[in-house]
């Protein structure tokens, strides 16, 4: 048994040596394990991944810093943003604000201790629309004019209990006790004016003038023109006519002067010529024209006077 075992071992060794020699002579590779490949990112892929991660980190830090800076500059808070505060009853805005698009609100109110200013480089327009979106009222404040478009314009007193001014398509009504015009050229009316009183300010003149047409004052119960503390002057380039269809014309004054009356010529005898102070009498022609004639002991008015003939 021992010899048999020894023989088998020797035979196995010889076989292995023969196999090795045969393999070397035939250039055969020894069977072994499969090739081992490295797992992971190496080389430029790894460097690129780290670069993109670093860039993403820097971007996040910059965004976070900008967000904090914007919140600091705009003064964000729980109540609102900067001068803009959100309240249960609306929006409270402090300081100067600029709107680049239309603003739709139901009410704009300033603080109690400050005024409300609406400013624009071109114009400020306020529009009012109905439920169908149709324009019912418009107020435009422009560089050349202030325009209001509505069915009726009303101006009320401070307390809101008295209507001061109203205007529509048919008429304009002013209910104030006094209407004052302070312009140097006065007020110009293209048509008639109806008023119970026209009065100038104290220590100022009142002038009613129609440069190219007539001036007419009418009233069913009478027209009164009076100057309480000064003279009353009525002048015209041509004729001045006082006419009363049913009544009379009364001139009531301590002194009545008719200046510029023509002087009539009266031929008297030499013994009637007086050397005393010149005194005249007032004569009336059949046509109603008045002229002066030298006064004598008897009337010197002559119906056939040259003045009456040429009147």
Q: What is the pLDDT of residues 100-112, one digit of tens each?
A: 787 787 777 777 7
pLDDT of residue 233: 77
pLDDT of residue 158: 85
Q: Which two tokens stand for residue 119?
A: 């400013």
Is the model more confident about 257 or about 40?
Answer: 257
How many domains does the chain fold into?
2
Choose the final residue of a domain: 81, 105, 130: 81
pLDDT of residue 32: 52
Given a cut of 60, whether residue 276 has pLDDT beyond it is no
Q: What is the DSSP letter of 166?
A: E
Residue 138 near residue 150, CB atoms below 8 Å: yes
Q: What is the distance of C-alpha 262 from the center of its chain?
A: 62
* Domain that residue 66 falls in: 44-81
Could you give the CA distance from residue 141 to residue 123 in angstroms, rounded to a whole number? 5
Asked whether residue 28 is assigned to any structural domain, the reply reads no
Asked whether residue 50 is assigned to any structural domain, the reply reads yes
Q: What is the distance of C-alpha 71 from the center of its chain?
A: 37
Could you give the CA distance from residue 255 to residue 270 in angstroms, rounded to a whole number? 34
Choose the final residue of a domain: 54, 81, 108: 81
Asked whether residue 61 is assigned to any structural domain, the reply reads yes
Asked whether residue 155 is assigned to any structural domain, the reply reads no
Is the model more confident about 28 or about 86?
Answer: 86
Percent of the chain with pLDDT over 70: 81
Pure H helices in the chain: 2-25, 44-74, 306-309
pLDDT of residue 13: 55
Asked whether residue 188 is assigned to any structural domain, the reply reads no
Asked whether residue 33 is assigned to any structural domain, the reply reads no
Q: Could you tell me the maximum CA-CA distance found in the chain, to the nearest angstrom? A: 218
Could you give the CA distance from residue 65 to residue 284 in angstroms, rounded to a whole number? 109
Task: Provide the CB-side half-sphere exposure for 221 (13 A, CA).
Answer: 1
**Mean pLDDT confidence for 212-217:** 79
**Mean pLDDT computed over every residue of the chain:** 76
Choose the final residue of a domain: 81, 109, 133: 81
Asked whether residue 169 is assigned to any structural domain, the reply reads no
Look at phi and psi of residue 31 and say left if phi exceeds 0, alpha if psi is from -120 to 50, else beta: beta
pLDDT of residue 31: 54
Per residue in 46-86, pLDDT (tens digit) is 888 889 999 999 999 999 999 999 888 877 777 777 777 77
- The region of weakest confidence among 5-19, 151-165, 193-207, 243-257 is 5-19
Query: Per-residue confidence at 128, pLDDT binned at 50, 70, 90?
Result: confident
Asked whether residue 98 is assigned to any structural domain, the reply reads no
**Mean pLDDT confidence for 250-278:** 66
β-strands 124-129, 135-141: how paired?
Answer: antiparallel
Is the model more confident about 191 or about 4?
Answer: 191
The tokens 């104290």 sit on which residue? Answer: 202
Please, which residues have CB within 8 angstroms of residue 107's CB and are 6 or more apart in sequence?
A: 90
Residue 302 near residue 285, CB atoms below 8 Å: no
**Mean pLDDT confidence for 159-184:** 82
**Mean pLDDT confidence for 198-216:** 78
Given a cut of 80, whether residue 42 has pLDDT beyond it is no
3-state SS assignment for residue 180? coil
pLDDT of residue 266: 60
**Mean pLDDT confidence for 30-56:** 74
């Amino acid at each position: 048994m021992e010899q048999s075992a020894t023989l088998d071992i020797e035979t196995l060794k010889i076989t292995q040596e023969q196999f090795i020699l045969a393999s070397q002579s035939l250039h055969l590779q020894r069977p072994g394990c499969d090739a081992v490949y490295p797992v992971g990112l190496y080389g430029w892929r790894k460097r690129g991944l780290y670069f993109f991660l670093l860039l993403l980190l820097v971007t996040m830090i910059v965004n976070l810093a900008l967000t904090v800076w914007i919140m600091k500059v705009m003064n964000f808070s729980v109540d609102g943003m900067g001068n803009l505060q959100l309240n249960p009853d609306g929006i409270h805005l402090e300081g100067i604000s600029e709107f680049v698009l239309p603003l739709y609100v139901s009410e704009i109110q300033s603080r109690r201790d400050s005024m409300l200013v609406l400013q624009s480089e071109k114009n400020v327009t306020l529009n009012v629309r109905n439920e169908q979106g149709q324009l019912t009222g418009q107020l435009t404040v422009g560089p050349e004019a202030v325009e209001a478009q509505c069915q009726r314009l009303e101006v009320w007193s401070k307390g809101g209990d008295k209507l001061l001014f109203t205007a529509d398509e048919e008429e304009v009504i002013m209910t104030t006790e006094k209407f004052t015009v302070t312009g140097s050229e006065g007020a110009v009316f293209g048509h008639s004016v109806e008023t119970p009183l026209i009065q100038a300010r104290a220590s100022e003149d009142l002038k009613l003038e129609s440069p190219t047409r007539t001036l007419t004052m009418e009233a069913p119960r009478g027209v009164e023109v009076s100057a309480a503390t000064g003279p009353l002057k009525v002048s015209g380039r041509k004729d001045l006519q006082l006419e009363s269809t049913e009544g009379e014309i009364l001139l009531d004054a301590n002194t009545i002067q008719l200046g510029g009356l023509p002087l009539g010529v009266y031929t008297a005898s030499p013994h009637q010529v007086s050397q005393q102070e010149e005194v005249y009498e007032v004569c009336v022609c059949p046509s109603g024209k008045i002229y002066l004639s030298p006064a004598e002991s008897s009337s010197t008015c002559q119906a056939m006077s040259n003045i009456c003939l040429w009147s």
